[in-house]
Structure formats: structure tokens, C-alpha cells
């Protein structure tokens, strides 16, 4: 079975070749990748009707929809199963495991060494990281996903900050920067704010609210100046409301049984490490 980072990079290359190279706007590409993740999840899961994703599908140019339905969705299905496998693991998470921030950062330090910049994005999911990685590659910047993963079992910032003594997420960013000898660090909460403001209105409203071009351009400018590590404390979840008939976005989704809310993607529970290596 391929590793998570290998699956991400394969999907990234499809996005570069089939979506960005033909000249589609990054905003349309972002919508298409969001649709691809949901389309893939609908094939992996059961009990959710495919018509729930139609409002998002209709916002995507027809040729991009074709790329999603013919190719990208299929490539993302193993990735979704991989996430399910990681989250279903019964191994300890806080004793030197994938939910132990200091342990994971030490593993990152050993595999990566020093970086120039550490960028922590509150609530950035694998979807945004995949799109941004494709954007960077399309603009001549080499990016890699590390084999290390950070598991956040509850999908909340406090699970990460709670592993430190009285610091905020910015303080965690400072800690990571110090471990990797970075000259600068930053913490950005834009996506988290949009999840809280727009997520309950539906996935199509949420995706319209994300200024993905601004985020990607900011990262590109930093990546051109040095080696940057991009990560998140958690992502977000995409949930199907069966009773209300729509898909919405939240983080830290909690199961209630029986429930009329079915999780399609629990991306708030897993975070990736993406590193830039300068212009190719």
C-alpha cells in the first residue's frame, strides 16, 4: 500500500497537469478538488445520496468536472481509506505517537533538518494543502509532503495547545520554529474563521468564501525566499445532514448515535507537513 504522502503527490500532479496547466483559475481548481474529495468519499462511504453534492458540482467548469469524475476522484479514494485506517488505529496516541506534537516535530526535525520559515494555518485541511502544493509546483517551486502525520483525535486546537504549558497556537508555531532553527514563523486563522462563519451554510458557500489565491500567493512569495514548512493544527470535516439535505463544514465533529448527520470526510483529525524546496 502506498504511503499517504505518495498518494497526495500523485493527486497533486494530476491537478497540475489537468487543471492548472490548461489555464484554469485557482479558485475553480479549488472547487474542483473539493468536489473530488467529496465525490471520492461518496464512493467509499454508504448511506449518503450523491445529489447532495450537486450545488457544488454546478459551480465547476464542465471540463474540470470531467477530470474529477474520470480520474482525480479515483486517485483520492485510497487516500480516504488511508485516513480511515489511521483514525481507526487503536495504538496509543499520546505516548510517543502520532498525536504527540513534540514527538512528531522531533521526527520531522530528523528527516528534514533546518527550515527558514514555519507557517501554521489553523484549520487548513489536506484539500487546501493539495491545491496549494499544485499551485507552487505550477509556479516552479518544488514541494514535498513528509511521511510524518499529526493526528488530532478530537479535531480541535486545544488538543494541540493542551500539550504545552499555557501557550496559544502561535506559541506552538514558535516552538516548532525553534526546533527547526527557522528564522521566522507565522500563524494564520483565516480558514478557521471561515469554517465558523460559513461552514454551516453549506460546502458550496464555504468554498466560495475561501480566498485560496491569496493564501497560495502568500506561501509562494515566502517559498521563493527560502525553505518553508507548512502545517496545521487540524483540518475540517464535511458532514451530510440527511434531514436538511445538504453538506456542511465543521471541525471537531462528534458522533451521536442514532444520528441524522453522517461524516463524509473527517479531515479535522489529521494534519500533514508540506515543505518547499525553492524554485525548481
Long-range contacts of 76-79 (CB under 8 A, 24+ apart): 76/7, 76/11, 76/36, 76/37, 76/40, 77/40, 77/43, 77/44, 78/1, 78/2, 78/7, 79/4, 79/7, 79/8, 79/11, 79/40, 79/126
Helix (H) or strand (E) holding 123: none
pLDDT for 92: 46
Task: Tell me phi and psi for residue 114, to 5 degrees.
Answer: -85, 155
CA dihedral 202, 205, 207, 210 (to 10 degrees): -130
> Which of 158, 110, 113 is CA-nearest to residue 268?
158
CA 88/CA 41 separation, integer angstroms: 16
Element (H, E) at 235: none
How much is the average pLDDT of 3-20? 95
Instruction: Give residue 88's pLDDT.
Output: 83
Total residues belonging to the chain: 280
Mean pLDDT of the chain: 93
Cα separations in angstroms, 67 against 15, 32, 44: 9, 9, 19
The DSSP letter of residue 92 is: -
Element containing residue 97 per DSSP (H, E):
none
pLDDT band at 254 (very low <50, low <70, confident <90, very high): confident
Read off the pLDDT of each residue in 12-19 and give the average, rounded to a whole number. 96
48, 240 contact by CB (below 8 A): yes
Residue 22 and residue 16: Cα distance in Å, rounded? 9
Structure-block grid coordinates of residue 137: 509546483
DSSP-derived pairing of the beta strands 237-241 and 228-231: unpaired
Predicted TM-score (pTM) of the model is: 0.95
* Segment 43-63 mean pLDDT: 92
pLDDT above 90 covers a percentage of the chain that reads: 85
Least confident of 5-9, 45-49, 170-174, 223-227: 45-49
Distance between CA 8 and CA 6 in Å, rounded? 5
Res 280: pLDDT: 59
Q: What is the pLDDT of residues 126-148, one digit of tens each?
A: 999 999 999 999 999 999 999 99
Contact 152, 34 (CB under 8 A): no
Residue range 70-81, pLDDT digits in tens = 999 999 999 999
186 forms beta bridges with 119
Res 150 pLDDT > 70: yes
| Cα-based angle 9, 15, 19 (whole degrees, multiple of 5) | 170
102, HSE (Cβ side, Cα atoms, 13 Å): 8
Amino acid at each position: 500500500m502506498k504511503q499517504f504522502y505518495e498518494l497526495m503527490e500523485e493527486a497533486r500532479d494530476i491537478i497540475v497537469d489537468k487543471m492548472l496547466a490548461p489555464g484554469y483559475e485557482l479558485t475553480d481548481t479549488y472547487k474542483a478538488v473539493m468536489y473530488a474529495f467529496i465525490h471520492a468519499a461518496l464512493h467509499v462511504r454508504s448511506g449518503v445520496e450523491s445529489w447532495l453534492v450537486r450545488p457544488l458540482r454546478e459551480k465547476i467548469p464542465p471540463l474540470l468536472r470531467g477530470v474529477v469524475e474520470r480520474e482525480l476522484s479515483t486517485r483520492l479514494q485510497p487516500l480516504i481509506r488511508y485516513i480511515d485506517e489511521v483514525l481507526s488505529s487503536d495504538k496509543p496516541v499520546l505516548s510517543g505517537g502520532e498525536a504527540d506534537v513534540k514527538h512528531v516535530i522531533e521526527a520531522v526535525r530528523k528527516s528534514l533538518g533546518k527550515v527558514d520559515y514555519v507557517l501554521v494555518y489553523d484549520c487548513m485541511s489536506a484539500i487546501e494543502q493539495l491545491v496549494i502544493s499544485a499551485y507552487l509546483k505550477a509556479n516552479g517551486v518544488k514541494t514535498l509532503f513528509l511521511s510524518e502525520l499529526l493526528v488530532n483525535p478530537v479535531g480541535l486546537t486545544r488538543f494541540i495547545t493542551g500539550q504545552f504549558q499555557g501557550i496559544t497556537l502561535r506559541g506552538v508555531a514558535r516552538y516548532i520554529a525553534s526546533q527547526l532553527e527557522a528564522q521566522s514563523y507565522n500563524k494564520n486563522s483565516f480558514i478557521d474563521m471561515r469554517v465558523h462563519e460559513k461552514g454551516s451554510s453549506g460546502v458550496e458557500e464555504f468554498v466560495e468564501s475561501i480566498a485560496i489565491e491569496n493564501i497560495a500567493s502568500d506561501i509562494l512569495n515566502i517559498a521563493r525566499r527560502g525553505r518553508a514548512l507548512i502545517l496545521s493544527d487540524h483540518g475540517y470535516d464535511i458532514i451530510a445532514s440527511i434531514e436538511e439535505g445538504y453538506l456542511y463544514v465543521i471541525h471537531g465533529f462528534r458522533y451521536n448515535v442514532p444520528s441524522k448527520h453522517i461524516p463524509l470526510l473527517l479531515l479535522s483529525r489529521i494534519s500533514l507537513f508540506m515543505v518547499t524546496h525553492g524554485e525548481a
